[in-house]
């Protein structure tokens, strides 16, 4: 038997009421994501040995990197770009935050969202004068690694994978299927390239070349970013590594893509060293609805939409991400999608 807490009972009651009424009612309940709650600081690891005011911010970058908020039942997930910027801004304004550890568990995402977060981190370092250390967890691939290149140091968890340096854009063609069922599609367009990438017709060789040139341009930008973040690697060395493959943490270290293989605690120590502090509390920023239990450095951020309940029946996943219309250029490792 599943036992629901207070929020769970409230959520279930709200759901049943909406079903019974059969109408469309929007109600705001704190913790259910219909309105944005202010960030709240929580201490996930207290400095045990000495009294100190210094803090290290543990900032999560989880899941698909996108500049959009995905919808779920009675909730919205956080906009990744906006969330990271908001937390960096708060850390910049807090003189007691000495450094940031960016904990990345992401296969990447859209080219633009990845690039925005990368530049937000660079701006934070420039303006706040605070070091940033990236800690790569299970998967920090493609756009996840792109973002990590903005950090001062990169630590990869021993069992994680990274790399997948490159760009992809998926197109599908249903022209053959339509022909089989006797359906045709027609586009009224101002130029012959206007519907380039349409699933209702095949790409011409010229159109494929246009897309490839765009992909190549974005790929070169990725290589530039890696070269900037990994100055010990030549551009030729990076290009040999940047064929889209993933690397285990030891292989990434061997090839110079990360500084060391280590645990999250080691990344935190590197951040403290970079800030010239020996003792510091480790903190996270979260929404009030996500602070129902005592955290630690392995706590992951709870989306503002989740609250403290489990009534969210529809999980947001890559399928939701792909519902956007039109081709999307992605720094993403997504085999089999």
Instruction: Give the active site residues.
Output: 142, 194
Lookup result for tokens 């951020």: 301
Token pair of 229, please?
């973040």
The span from the CA of 153 to the CA of 245, in Å, is: 22
Q: Using DSSP, state whether 302 is helix, strand or coil.
A: coil
Do you know the residue count of the chain? 337
Closest CA to 82 of 64, 67, 60: 67
The span from the CA of 192 to the CA of 32, in Å, is: 47
The span from the CA of 315 to the CA of 299, in Å, is: 20
Q: What are phi and psi of 15, to 5 degrees?
A: -60, -45
Partners of 248 in beta bridges? 161
């Amino acid at each position: 038997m599943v036992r629901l807490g207070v929020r769970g009972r409230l959520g279930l009651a709200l759901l049943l009421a909406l079903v019974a009424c059969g109408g469309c009612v929007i109600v705001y309940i704190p913790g259910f994501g219909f309105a944005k709650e202010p960030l709240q600081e929580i201490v996930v690891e207290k400095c045990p040995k000495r009294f100190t005011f210094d803090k290290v911010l543990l900032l999560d970058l989880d899941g698909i990197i996108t500049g959009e908020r995905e919808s779920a039942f009675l909730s919205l997930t956080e906009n990744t770009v906006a969330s990271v910027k908001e937390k960096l801004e708060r850390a910049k304004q807090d003189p007691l935050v000495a450094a940031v550890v960016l904990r990345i568990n992401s296969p990447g995402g859209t080219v633009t969202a990845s690039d925005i977060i990368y530049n937000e981190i660079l701006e934070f370092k420039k303006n706040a004068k605070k070091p940033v250390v990236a800690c790569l967890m299970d998967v920090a691939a493609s756009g996840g690694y792109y973002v990590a290149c903005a950090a001062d140091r990169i630590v990869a968890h021993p069992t994680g994978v990274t790399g997948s340096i490159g760009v992809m854009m998926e197109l599908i063609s249903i022209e053959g299927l339509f022909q089989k069922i006797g359906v045709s599609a027609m586009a009224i367009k101002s130029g012959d390239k206007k519907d380039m990438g349409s699933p209702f017709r095949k790409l011409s060789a010229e159109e494929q070349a246009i897309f490839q040139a765009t992909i190549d341009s974005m790929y070169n930008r990725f290589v530039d970013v890696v070269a900037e973040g990994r100055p010990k690697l030549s551009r030729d060395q990076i290009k040999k590594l940047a064929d889209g493959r993933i690397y285990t943490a030891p292989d990434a270290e061997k090839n110079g893509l990360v500084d060391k293989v280590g645990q999250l605690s080691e990344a935190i120590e590197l951040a403290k060293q970079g800030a010239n502090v020996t003792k510091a509390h480790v903190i996270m920023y979260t929404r009030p609805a996500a602070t129902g239990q005592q955290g630690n450095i392995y706590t992951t951020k709870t989306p503002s939409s989740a609250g403290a309940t489990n009534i969210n029946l529809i999980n947001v996943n890559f399928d939701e991400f792909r519902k956007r219309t039109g081709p999307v250029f992605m720094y993403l490792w997504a085999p089999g999608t």
